[in-house]
Amino acid sequence: MSLFDKFQPIAEVRAELQQLGVMPFGAVTEKLLSATEGIVNGHRVILAGTNNYLGLTFDPECIAAARRALEELGTGTTGSRMANGTFREHVELERELADFFGRSHSIVFSTGYAATMGMGSTLAGPGDVIVLDADSHASIYDGVRLGGAEIIRFRHNDPADLEKRLRRLGERIQNTLIIVEGVYSMMGDQAPLAEIAEVKRRHGGMLLVDEAHSLGMLGEHGRGVAEAAGVEDEVDFIVGTFSKSLGAIGGYCVSNHAELDTIRFAIRSYIFTASPSPSVVASTRVALRLLQQRPELRERLWENAERLYEGLKQLGLRVSPQLSPVIAVTVEDRRQAIDWWNRLMERGAYVNLVMPPASPTPASLLRCSVSAAHSSEQIDRIIEAFASLQATAGTP
């Protein structure tokens, strides 16, 4: 036996892909031409897999703010928030996030992964219980495993199954944390948060919602699924990321529980990592303001999402079960999925290839994510790229 033996299945898949002449994992973006176009693996493509939902990565105001911060504050903090890494701008961003969500307390993390993992590993520990959606993101699973709480999974988006599992806990419900996502990143389906909140009201426990893929796209003010479902008062903690709609990198947690300010000093992914660089904080602050000032971005995002969703659906493809800016095409055969991903690239459309175990089913996915910055013509060209594949290879 060797330490490397467990990686053999990965090595075999990688070798298979190399034989096919493709390398979908870690595709190299050689040049960005705009928020929606680039040169990837030598091909000029429409970027249809970036999670750049509001298209703010090239916004002039965001870039100008980042440039000013670089010139005035340097390239990085070189320290954690607990040491020398708390700048005035970090505190201001935390205040602005709390105000945006209508919450009293906020923490900014260096990445969205650190935020989700950190809260999951810290809120519940030995003697506590975590009940989470079975399709939760890897960062959630990594966090709850570190915390040492008992982990109970309920069927994806099934409030009845959640209720059954909470009912069995009895008095332990007082030490229970429920974790769901707003929009699930692979298929784009939304959590039935109104029903989940009602289950929580009947049985108790605390509720944490990861709004990473729903910030900026749902709710009257763009706060996510909790706002859209009208249940923000039932959500104890909201976590998310700056790397989707806000076009940067970083993460956050907001809450009305005053204890969050105490919990901050127990979160290892917050304490033991360098704080976000000044330029990232600066551009994020501007993007958060633009999210609120430009509701037309959200409207355009959904127009583009509907155009692509209906276009792919009319082709007879197996698309996600629910309309969303995340649109996944299911392909049962792995080799066909790989071949289609490569052909899409050649035809000028970059999408994400997702294979098990990353995909939530044994099938593979060609995952698209739409942006408000996409033009109608670009959406039509993505549909045409899929149509040309279907004409030559048949429906998956």
The catalytic site residues sit at: 185, 213, 244
Report pLDDT for 24: 61
Report pLDDT for 392: 65
Of 277, 224, 236, 243, nearest in space to 113 by CA: 243
CATH 3.40.50.1860 fits 5-54+295-393, yes or no: no
Range 286-314 average pLDDT:
98
Report pLDDT for 145: 96
Report pLDDT for 27: 85
Name the average pLDDT for the chain: 94
Between 229 and 394, the higher pLDDT residue: 229
Report pLDDT for 44: 97
The answer to whether residue 395 scores a pLDDT higher than 70 is: no
pLDDT in tens, 197-227: 999 999 999 999 999 999 999 999 999 999 9
Residues of the chain with CATH 3.40.640.10: 60-293
User: What distance in Å separates the CA atoms of residue 189 and residue 326, rounded to the nearest whole number?
Assistant: 8
Between 99 and 357, the higher pLDDT residue: 99
Report pLDDT for 16: 78
The answer to whether residue 394 scores a pLDDT higher than 90 is: no
pLDDT in tens, 150-187: 999 999 999 999 999 999 999 999 999 999 999 999 99
Using alpha carbons, list the distances in angstroms from residue 386 to 271, 292, 306, 343, 373: 46, 34, 16, 9, 20
Q: 240 falls in which pLDDT band (50, 70, 90)?
A: very high
The answer to whether residue 361 scores a pLDDT higher than 60 is: yes
Residues of the chain with CATH 3.90.1150.10: 5-54+295-393
User: What distance in Å separates the CA atoms of residue 39 and residue 33, rounded to the nearest whole number?
Assistant: 8
The answer to whether residue 386 scores a pLDDT higher than 60 is: yes
The answer to whether residue 50 scores a pLDDT higher than 60 is: yes
User: What distance in Å separates the CA atoms of residue 238 and residue 256, rounded to the nearest whole number?
Assistant: 10
User: What distance in Å separates the CA atoms of residue 34 and residue 216, rounded to the nearest whole number?
Assistant: 20
Report pLDDT for 21: 67
Using alpha carbons, list the distances in angstroms from residue 183 to 64, 95, 169, 189, 270: 31, 25, 27, 6, 25
Q: 335 falls in which pLDDT band (50, 70, 90)?
A: confident
Q: Which helix (H) or strand (E) holds 30?
A: strand 29-32
Range with the lowest mean pLDDT among 11-20, 67-76, 103-112, 208-217?
11-20
Range 51-74 average pLDDT:
98
Single pTM value for the model: 0.94
Report pLDDT for 120: 97
60-293 topology per CATH: Aspartate Aminotransferase; domain 2 (3.40.640)
The DSSP 8-state label assigned to residue 96 in this structure reads H
Q: 393 falls in which pLDDT band (50, 70, 90)?
A: low
Report pLDDT for 174: 95
- Give the end-to-end CA distance of the chain in Å, rounded to a whole number: 39
